[in-house]
C-alpha cells in the first residue's frame, strides 16, 4: 500500500515536496488555509519571482546553527534545480549577477507550473482548510472542518509570519511547539527600515546605487553595496533589506543603530573633490545648484548643501571655497541616518527565527522530537539574503525531505 503523506501549507516548499513525493509513489494530500496555493510565491520579487541564484555559497544563509543548511544546499544546488525545472517545463533565465527568474518573468507562471504538475501527478488539495488539531497516534490524525484524516507522515510547510496579508501565519510554530519543539523568536528580515530623521523624508522616491554601512553602538559591522531607496518613513532597497536582519536584532537588544550612506562608493574622497573642483571652475558664475545638477538626483541637491553646512548667502558657485567643496564631498560619501525600527512582519519578506534546527535531522528534515513529523521551508530557523536564496532554501529543504523519506 502507498504511504499517505499530509502537507500542511500550500506554498513553494509544499508544492515542490508534493511533486517529488508523488513521483516516488507516495499518496500526497495538501491542506492550505487560503483559497488558492502559492499566494506568497505569486507575489515574490514584485511578481517576477527571483527563483534561485547561480551562487549558492553558504555565506548567504543565516541560522542559530548555520551548519544545518550545508547538506540541503550542497545536495540540491543550482544545477540540480535547473535540471528539475526542465523536467516539469519551467524555463529559467539568469542575469549577469546570477539572479535567476522564470523566463516569463511572471511569478504566477511558477505557481501554475508547480500546481498543475502536482495535480497531474495525483496530489489532492484541500483549500480553505485550517488545521484544528493534530494527534500523533499509530496513524497521525488531522482534524479540519470537523473532519478527521489519517496519515502515515505529516510535513509542516506553513512558512513564517512574514507578509500576513499574503496568507502567512504562525500556525506552523504552534504545531511545532505542541510536538515539543523550541521556537527561536522570529524577527522581521528583508524588510524596510524606519528612521526618526525627518530631513530624509523629503528625499522620498530617490533611488541611488550606494554603499551602505551598518553601525551598531557606533561600531561598523557590515557594508553592502547596491540600490538604496529613500522613503517617507526611512530607507529601503536591496542594501537595506540585506542589513535589516542585523539591524532588527540589534534593536531588539536595545542597541543604537545607524547607517552611513556613501553615494559614490567607486570614488575616493580625493577624486570626488577633484571632480567637484573642476566642475566649479568650469561653471563659475552659475548658481550653486549647478555644481551637483546632473551629478546627483535633483531632490538630493538642497539636502546635500544643508548637510554640508553651505552658508545660505553663497548663491553662486564661485562663492564656494575649498572647505565648502571638501564638506560637500564628505557629505556625498557619508550621510548618517539613525534607525529606530522597521516596517515589521507585515512588510518583511522573511523572518529570522523559527523552529530550532538543532531539533531537526538535516538530511531528512524529520523531527528529532516526534517520529513521522517533518518540516521544510521558511518555518525553520533558516533565512537568506536577497537574491533568490530564501526560495532556494524552500526547494532544497523540500528536495532532501521528499527524496529521503522512507
**Contact in structure between 11 and 394 (CB atoms under 8 Å):** yes
Q: Is 120 helix (H, G, I), strand (E, B) or coil?
A: helix
Contacts of residue 358, Cβ cutoff 8 Å, sequence gap at least 6:
64, 65, 68, 182
CATH architecture classification, 4-188+351-404: 3-Layer(bba) Sandwich (3.50)
Average pLDDT score over the chain: 96
pLDDT score recorded for residue 60: 97
Can you say whether residue 180 is alpha, beta or left, with left for phi > 0 and alpha for psi between -120 and 50 degrees? left
Q: Residue 95 burial (CB < 10 Å; 0-12/13-18/19+)?
A: exposed
Query: Rounded to two decimals, what is the model's pTM?
Result: 0.93
Each residue's pLDDT tens digit, 290-342: 999 999 999 999 999 999 999 999 999 999 999 999 999 999 999 999 999 99
- What is the crossing angle of helices 322-332 and 269-282, to 10°? 130
Contacts of residue 240, Cβ cutoff 8 Å, sequence gap at least 6:
192, 193, 212, 228, 229, 259
C-beta neighbour count of 50 within 10 angstroms: 21
- Tell me the three cell numbers of residue 236: 529601503
Q: What is the rounded CA–CA span in Å between residue 125 and residue 116?
A: 11
The residues facing 215 across adjacent strands are: 220, 258
Each residue's pLDDT tens digit, 175-225: 999 999 999 999 999 999 999 999 999 999 999 999 999 999 999 999 999
Residue ranges of the domains in the chain?
4-188+351-404, 192-343
- The string of DSSP letters for 227-267 reads EEEE-SSEEESHHHHHHHHHHHHHHHTT--EEEEEES-TTS
Of 155-159, 165-169, 263-267, 365-369, minimum mean pLDDT range: 165-169
Checking if the pLDDT of 90 tops 90, the result is yes
- What is the crossing angle of helices 78-87 and 389-404, to 10°? 70
Amino acid at each position: 500500500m502507498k504511504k499517505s503523506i499530509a502537507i500542511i501549507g500550500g506554498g513553494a516548499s509544499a508544492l515542490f515536496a508534493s511533486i517529488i513525493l508523488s513521483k516516488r509513489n507516495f499518496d500526497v494530500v495538501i491542506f492550505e488555509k487560503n483559497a488558492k496555493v502559492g499566494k506568497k510565491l505569486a507575489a515574490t520579487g514584485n511578481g517576477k519571482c527571483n527563483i534561485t541564484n547561480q551562487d549558492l555559497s553558504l555565506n548567504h544563509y543565516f541560522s542559530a546553527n548555520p551548519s544545518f543548511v550545508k547538506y540541503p544546499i550542497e545536495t540540491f544546488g543550482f544545477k540540480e534545480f535547473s535540471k528539475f525545472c526542465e523536467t516539469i517545463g519551467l524555463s529559467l533565465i539568469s542575469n549577469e549577477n546570477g539572479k535567476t527568474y522564470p523566463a516569463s518573468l511572471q511569478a504566477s507562471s511558477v505557481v501554475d507550473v508547480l500546481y498543475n504538475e502536482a495535480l497531474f501527478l495525483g496530489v489532492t488539495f484541500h483549500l480553505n482548510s485550517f488545521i484544528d488539531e493534530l494527534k500523533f497516534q499509530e496513524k497521525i490524525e488531522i482534524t479540519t472542518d470537523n473532519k478527521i484524516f489519517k496519515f502515515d507522515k505529516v510535513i509542516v510547510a506553513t512558512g513564517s509570519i512574514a507578509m500576513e496579508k499574503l496568507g502567512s501565519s504562525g500556525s506552523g510554530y504552534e504545531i511545532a511547539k505542541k510536538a515539543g519543539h523550541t521556537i527561536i523568536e522570529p524577527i522581521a528580515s528583508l524588510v524596510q527600515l524606519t528612521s526618526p530623521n525627518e530631513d530624509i523624508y523629503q528625499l522620498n522616491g530617490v533611488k541611488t546605487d550606494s554603499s551602505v554601512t551598518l553601525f551598531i553602538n557606533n561600531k561598523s559591522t557590515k557594508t553592502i553595496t547596491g540600490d538604496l531607496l529613500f522613503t517617507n518613513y526611512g530607507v529601503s532597497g536591496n542594501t537595506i533589506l540585506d542589513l535589516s536582519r542585523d539591524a532588527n536584532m540589534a534593536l531588539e537588544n536595545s542597541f543604537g543603530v545607524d547607517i552611513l550612506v556613501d553615494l559614490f562608493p567607486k570614488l575616493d574622497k580625493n577624486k570626488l573633490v577633484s571632480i567637484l573642483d573642476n566642475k566649479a571652475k568650469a561653471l563659475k558664475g552659475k548658481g550653486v545648484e549647478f555644481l551637483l545638477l546632473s551629478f546627483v538626483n535633483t531632490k538630493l541637491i538642497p539636502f546635500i548643501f544643508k548637510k554640508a553646512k553651505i552658508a545660505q548667502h553663497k548663491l553662486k558657485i564661485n562663492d564656494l571655497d575649498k572647505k565648502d567643496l571638501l564638506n560637500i564631498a564628505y557629505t556625498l560619501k557619508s550621510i548618517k541616518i539613525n534607525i529606530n525600527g522597521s516596517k515589521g512582519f507585515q512588510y518583511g519578506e522573511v523572518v529570522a527565527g523559527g523552529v530550532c534546527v538543532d531539533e531537526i535531522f538535516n538530511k531528512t528534515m524529520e523531527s528529532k522530537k516526534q517520529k513521522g513529523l517533518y518540516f521544510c521551508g521558511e518555518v525553520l530557523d533558516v533565512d537568506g539574503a536577497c537574491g533568490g536564496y530564501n526560495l532556494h532554501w524552500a526547494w532544497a529543504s523540500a528536495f532532501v525531505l521528499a527524496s529521503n523519506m522512507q
